[in-house]
Amino acid sequence: MGTVQIRNARKSYGSVEVLHGVSIDIEEGEFVALVGPSGCGKSTLLRMIAGLEEITSGHILIGDRIVNDVAPKDRDIAMVFQNYALYPHKNVRDNMGFALRQRRVSRDEINVRVTEAARILGLEELLDRKPRALSGGQRQRVAMGRAIVRDPNVFLFDEPLSNLDAKLRVQMRSEIKELHQRLKTTTIYVTHDQIEAMTLADRVVVMNSGVIEQAGPPLELYDNPATLFVAAFIGSPPMNFFEGDLVGGTGLVMGDGTRLALPEADPKGRQRATVGVRAEHFDLAEKGWPATVSVVEPTGSETLVMARLAGDVVRVLIRGRTAVQPGETIHLRPQRGSLHFFDAAPVPEVAQMEDVA
Amino acid sequence: MSQARKRRPIGQTLRIVGGVMVSIIFLFPVYWMVLTSFKQQVDIFTSPPTFWFEPTIAAYAEYMTRADILPRLINTVVVATLSALFSIIVGTMAGYALARIQIRGAATFGALILLSRGVPPIALAVPMFLVARNLGLTDQHITLILAYSTFLVPYVMWLMRSFFLSLPRELEESAMIDGCSRYGAFFKIILPISLPGLLSTLIFSMILAWEELLFALVLTNRNASTIPVAIAGIAGDTVNGANWAALTAVGTITVVPVVIFALLVQKWLIKGLADGATKG
Ligand SMILES: Nc1ncnc2c1ncn2[C@@H]1O[C@H](COP(=O)(O)OP(=O)(O)O)[C@@H](O)[C@H]1O
Ligand SMILES: [Mg+2]
């Protein structure tokens, strides 16, 4: 049974707690991405599921068995590491067959399963090569092959695409998705790249500093970020934020006195708020928030306009093309129902990986 | 690379000339020793020294058959091999533990063991002699083997520890997920990858034991005595004066295996690098 339940799991290294009570229920066949900035504890959590790190407190269940004290080899999981960890002295065939050999599967059976996995991943020609004679992308495939021949209950991936160049990363991303649709094995996938998480997963778990900020389907996180952190982390180009006092319901007065008219009031009636607007939720209008265009980046299907408003950069995504020129003043009108209100706070610095997509 | 070479041919040449000169300076005494060992007494003392003479193996014939050389040679082989083997087994496992297993105080423990190497051997030789005598173990092979292990085990441990640290730990973790215990991961994955480094360390340990003089001098006198002791004896013969033919012949016999070992090490090291053993 490929369900995974994490119940209030904590992890401390010495006196430093790095995971502060994390709970997730993962269903059979689900593809869950753990995403968050570097150092937030994603790998630690994944390694606890794998049995490579002790669970300081709380429980982890795979199927209906508590695995806190079960050795990695007895958890029926397979893991793909960022550096692939291929056995350098074994050829591709033996790398892929190693786990089956450990389980005393017959030679014929191993052969059949390795050949099948190699066919799925396009590795047939490379079976007799040593890892050092493979390119980065090929090594990545072998690492995947080593996981799928096992036919485990759960796949664990720790940043498996981070060592590839951008183009290959996008290609392998699709292949991983396709593979999951075909095998339907429960998958937990760690990445710091929110686009990777959004495009791959059925459900995205956003982590920050050892806690879960929000978990849900990708578009739900995009449309309804529960916290300022999630709002800032998910989405590319990133959401625009404006911090200030809310006056008279629909007025936002910012630090320098600039007053912005909002199309709707904060449902929670805060005094001060940080208001978020996604780049594609602005209309260019006759009247609106005045901003001075600094850069125009056309990509053909859409155009990204960067402008300055009250000293801040605002990103505006325009469908199709635009005649807007740098230096020009434009008027931005946020669409009704597109505003995100949060308690006033500085916008978290989240290093986003710009992906080619 | 090749472009850089073309741009700086003078620097390249100077480096080669420099290398050759340094090699000559270091190798000449060895060459002279080997040459002398094949000379007759008259040729040894001609002045100026001669490179042309009628070679003889008289020194070898005489000293190999003399009772104290051959047994000592065998002793040296036995003691060097066994102490190196023992140390490689103990030191490798200790090095692995220090590199990988997180135990409270492991770092301190490792540093202490390293520190023990800072003690001058002479400070250990005499107490060791007293211990050996009280145990009735003076002049035994086992005594020398244990004495050598006191410096070989830390040596192996530190070399192998840093080697293991250079391997990504995901290798063992992968193996452990694939169905191995930690021991299985060590023996099936880590050990085969480490083989070139392990063999080199083994050879270096044998060389260290092979040429050790102080402990051998203090802890043995006849039964377990080694070749370095014999050389010291010949060189320090104040009654008859040093017998040069004998000295250089025994010296050559001592050096040849070391040279062969060193060449083997080089071959393995290069093979190890070519295997990309430390890269995933
Ligand atoms: N072995 C360890 N000892 C001490 N601290 C660790 C150890 N491993 C990870 N950490 C700390 O735990 C936190 C989470 O690390 P990690 O799970 O690797 O983050 P992520 O994978 O999200 O980048 C980091 O602050 C890291 O420094
Ligand atoms: Mg990580």
**What is the model's pLDDT at position A355?**
40
Cβ distance B180 to A52 less than 8 Å, yes or no, reads no
AA letter at A107: R
High-pLDDT (> 70) share of chain A, %: 98
Lowest-confidence range among A25-34, B101-110, B209-218?
B101-110
| Reported pTM | 0.85
| Residue whose entry in the numeric block shows the structure tokens 């003479």 | B53
Residues 6+ apart with CB under 8 A from B213: B228, B229, B232
Instruction: Establish whether residue A325 lines the binding site of ligand 1, counting it when its CB lies within 6 angstroms of any ligand atom.
Output: no
Instruction: Establish whether residue A39 lines the binding site of ligand 1, counting it when its CB lies within 6 angstroms of any ligand atom.
Output: yes
Cβ distance A81 to B176 less than 8 Å, yes or no, reads no
Residue B249 pLDDT exceeds 90: no
For chain A, the residues whose C-beta falls within 8 A of a C-beta of chain B are 50-52, 71-73, 75, 77-79, 81, 83-89, 98-99, 102-103, 131-132, 139, 146, 150
DSSP letters, B55-115, are: ---HHHHHHHHSTTTHHHHHHHHHHHHHHHHHHHHHHHHHHHHHHH---TTHHHHHHHHHH
pLDDT category at B273 given cuts 50, 70, 90 is low
CA distance A64 to A85: 30
- The rounded Cα B236 to chain-centroid distance in angstroms is 24
pLDDT category at B238 given cuts 50, 70, 90 is confident
CA distance A220 to B128: 75
CA distance B214 to B196: 30
Residue B65 pLDDT exceeds 80: no
Out of B179, B181, B276, the one facing A99 most closely (by C-beta) is B179
Residue B279 pLDDT exceeds 50: no
Order across the sheet with A65-66: list the strands. A16-26, A4-13, A57-62, A65-66
Measured in angstroms, how far is the CA atom of residue A208 from the centroid of ligand 1?
12
Structure tokens at B72: 């000592």
The C-alpha of A172 sits at a distance from chain B's nearest C-alpha, in angstroms, of 20
- Residue ranges covered by each domain of chain A: 4-229, 237-347
Task: Compute how many other C-beta atoms are within 10 angstroms of the C-beta atom of residue A199.
Answer: 17
* Protein residue with its CA nearest to atom 24 in ligand 1: A39
High-pLDDT (> 70) share of chain B, %: 91
Instruction: Please give the helix or strand (H or E) that residue A341 lies within, else none.
Output: strand A340-343
Instruction: Establish whether residue A35 lines the binding site of ligand 1, counting it when its CB lies within 6 angstroms of any ligand atom.
Output: no
* Protein residue with its CA nearest to atom 26 in ligand 1: A39
* Protein residue with its CA nearest to atom 27 in ligand 1: A39
Closest CA to B35 of B279, B263, B245: B245
pLDDT category at B34 given cuts 50, 70, 90 is confident
Cβ distance A132 to B179 less than 8 Å, yes or no, reads no
The C-alpha of B190 sits at a distance from chain A's nearest C-alpha, in angstroms, of 9
Indicate which ligand has the atom closest to the C-alpha of A44: 1
DSSP letters, A127-170, are: TT--GGGS-HHHHHHHHHHHHHTT--SEEEEESTTTTS-HHHHH
pLDDT category at B280 given cuts 50, 70, 90 is very low
Mutation choice for B interface testing from A79, A113, A134 by most B CBs within 10 A: A79
CA distance B170 to A53: 12
Out of A52, A102, A131, the one facing B180 most closely (by C-beta) is A102
pLDDT category at B277 given cuts 50, 70, 90 is very low
Residues 6+ apart with CB under 8 A from B249: B37, B59, B60, B63
Provide the CB-side half-sphere exposure for B25 (13 A, CA): 6
Whole-number mean pLDDT of chain B? 85
Q: How many CB pairs (< 8 A) connect A and B?
A: 73
Lowest-confidence range among A198-212, A235-249, B190-204, B262-276?
B262-276
- β-sheet bridge partners, residue A284: A332
| Cβ atoms of residues A329 and A289 within 8 Å | no
How many angstroms separate the Cα of A192 from the Cα of each of A33, A111, A189, A216, A288?
10, 36, 10, 17, 36
Superfamily of domain B73-243: MetI-like (1.10.3720.10)
The length of chain B, given as a count of residues: 280
| Cβ atoms of residues A252 and A264 within 8 Å | no
Give the right CATH number for A237-347 from 1.20.1250.20, 2.130.10.30, 3.40.50.920, 2.40.50.140: 2.40.50.140
Q: Using DSSP, state whether A282 is helix, strand or coil.
A: strand
Measured in angstroms, how far is the CA atom of residue B84 from the centroid of ligand 1?
39
The stretch A300-311 carries a mean pLDDT of 93
Give the right CATH number for A4-229 from 3.90.1150.10, 3.40.50.300, 1.10.10.10, 3.40.50.800: 3.40.50.300
Q: Using DSSP, state whether A211 is helix, strand or coil.
A: strand
The C-alpha of B101 sits at a distance from chain A's nearest C-alpha, in angstroms, of 12
Mutation choice for A interface testing from B102, B172, B177 by most A CBs within 10 A: B177
Structure tokens at B218: 């203090």
B180-212: string of b/e by CB count within 10 Å (b at 16+)? Answer: bebebbbebbbeebbebbbbbbbbbbbbbbbbb
Which residues of chain B have a CB within 8 Å of the CB of A135? none
CA distance A116 to A123: 10
- Which pLDDT tens digit goes with each residue over A125-180? 999 999 999 999 999 999 999 999 999 999 999 999 999 999 999 999 999 999 99
- Residue ranges covered by each domain of chain B: 73-243
Residues 6+ apart with CB under 8 A from B226: B72, B75, B76, B79, B144, B212, B216, B220
Task: Compute how many other C-beta atoms are within 10 angstroms of the C-beta atom of residue B75.
Answer: 22
Task: Compute how many other C-beta atoms are within 10 angstroms of the C-beta atom of residue B129.
Answer: 16
Cβ distance A50 to B177 less than 8 Å, yes or no, reads yes
The C-alpha of B167 sits at a distance from chain A's nearest C-alpha, in angstroms, of 10
Measured in angstroms, how far is the CA atom of residue B162 from the centroid of ligand 1?
22
Closest CA to A344 of A258, A261, A272: A272
For chain B, the residues whose C-beta falls within 8 A of a C-beta of chain A are 168, 170-171, 173-181, 184, 189, 192-193, 275-277, 279-280
DSSP letters, B142-161, are: HHHHHHHHHHHHHHHHHHHH
